[in-house]
Amino acid sequence: LRAVQALRKKKSEQRIPIGQALPLVEVILEQLRNVPGLKNLAAAGSLRRFQETVGDIDLMGTADDPAAVISAFTGLPQVKQVLGRGTTKASVIADADLKVDLRLVEHDAFGSLLQYFTGSKQHNINLRERARRLGLSLSEYGITVLDSGKLEKFATEEGFYTRQGLDWIPPEIREGGPEIELAERRGLPRLIEPADIRGDLHVHTDWSDGRNSIAEMARAACDRGYEYIGIADHTFGRGIARGLDAARLEKQTETITRLNQEPGGIRILSGSEVDIRADGALDLPDDILARLDFVIAGVHSSLNQSQEKITERLIKALANPHVDILAHPTGRQLPDREPSAIDMETLFRAAARNRTILEINAMPNRLDLKDTHVMRARELGVKLIISTDSHGAEQLGTLRFGTGVARRAWCRRQDIVNTWPVDDLLAYLRERSER
């Protein structure tokens, strides 16, 4: 029995990638929103703060008939086991062994409850310490005025923060950093949003290992409201991915030129994801790369080199003036493949020196660069790009995962180059390659 309990405890403490958890939770939220009388509903915790891995899921809501919502929640098809249920709270095990708690409160207390369970723990500690200096006590129920003992309730998070003399703080940056001080003096930046993205420069097609044609990927990008899309199929060094040699890349570029002549279409940029060999050389010559609109370089093999070797390998690649973007820089894959042993500070300084753009790869099992790396790169003046690395049209929607990483790193619109108009982006790429 103790062994079974220990196993259950271990499983309950496991965290899963946000790319796996978020779609599951969104299905649950969508189904619950169909319950009559449900007024508010939101996910809190590490999921709302967009941490790369999440543990238990906390859902908050208000309802005219809480019992009906609890009944609907525990009866969802995604629920594998009901751990407990009451009149306003229930806990279940859902698909992927995800523990999900639902709490329902009065409408006028929703804001303080959502804020409390969003966290982070350190953010809330800092808030409480500051509030006490102001004669206030914070809890999930609201704000208590210490002199009078009066409890003030808040239907919205905005009201909860405003009562403390603070601007509302985006969940992604509630991590116990400078966010409270900046909110106090109205100094929080406007963080990047998915709607700011104008194009995706890392997509694959059926010319290599993608599932859709160039035209199909372009239409899908156009349907998302993008102004441009960059085709970056693998080069021949990635034999397993049907990579392109120089001759096939030239034919692909001709196809892109022809598609761009069709009226009313999205701007298609010709590019390539060039393989960085073990010695740092690229597997296409410079004269071929010079003909493209942009060049992405990436490591796909020999990921376990020593720190000295793999750092030198990347620095050599970044020194090539034709390499505009470094793809998925650390090579990690969630949850099992560790990042390469790169000296990240040296890499960031080389990128800044060469004006090379570093990628925030939005593929849910990559999220590479991670948030702390993005923050440091940005501090050093490195330009960044959010890309999906899509191998099918349906994967273009994963861009939101990269945006979440960028928001956690305090990125603004101007920090991310694919928020720029296409002519500005191409001008930057031309200028940096002529350095």
Q: State which fold the 110-184 domain adopts.
A: Beta Polymerase; domain 3 (3.30.210)
Q: What is the pLDDT of residues 89-119, one digit of tens each?
A: 999 999 999 999 999 999 999 999 999 999 9
What average pLDDT does the segment 299-321 reach? 96
pLDDT confidence of residue 7 = 43
Q: What is the CATH number of domain 2-105?
A: 3.30.460.10
194-433 to CATH, choices 3.20.20.140, 3.40.50.10420, 1.20.810.10, 3.30.2030.30:
3.20.20.140
Q: What is the pLDDT of residues 413-423, one digit of tens each?
A: 999 999 999 99
Q: Is the pLDDT at 9 greater than 50, yes or no? A: no
What average pLDDT does the segment 60-75 reach? 96
Q: Is the pLDDT at 226 greater than 80, yes or no? A: yes
Query: pLDDT tier at 237 (50, 70, 90 boundaries)?
Result: confident
pLDDT confidence of residue 434 = 79
Q: What share of the chain is helix, strand, coil (3-state, %, to 5)?
A: 40, 20, 35
Give this prediction's pTM.
0.94
Type of residue numbered 274: V
Nearest Cα to Cα of residue 333 among 374, 291, 355, 303:
303
194-433 and 2-105 share a CATH fold: no
Query: pLDDT tier at 5 (50, 70, 90 boundaries)?
Result: very low
Nearest Cα to Cα of residue 20 among 51, 65, 60:
51
Structural domain boundaries in the chain: 2-105, 110-184, 194-433
pLDDT confidence of residue 241 = 74
- 10-24, 37-51, 172-186, 310-324: the lowest-pLDDT one: 10-24
What average pLDDT does the segment 348-356 reach? 97
Q: Is the pLDDT at 435 greater than 70, yes or no? A: no
Residue 238 CA to residue 258 CA, distance in Å, equals 27
- 142-151, 218-227, 229-238, 400-409: the lowest-pLDDT one: 229-238
**What's the mean pLDDT when you consider all of the chain?**
95
Q: Are strands 142-145 and 151-152 parallel, antiparallel or unpaired?
A: antiparallel
Question: Residue 361 in 3-state DSSP?
Answer: strand
Cis (ω within 30 of 0) for the bond into 380?
no
Q: What is the pLDDT of residues 198-218, one digit of tens each?
A: 999 999 999 999 999 999 999
Contacts with 398 (C-beta within 8 Å, 6 or more apart), sequence order? 19, 362, 363, 364, 388, 390
Query: pLDDT tier at 2 (50, 70, 90 boundaries)?
Result: very low
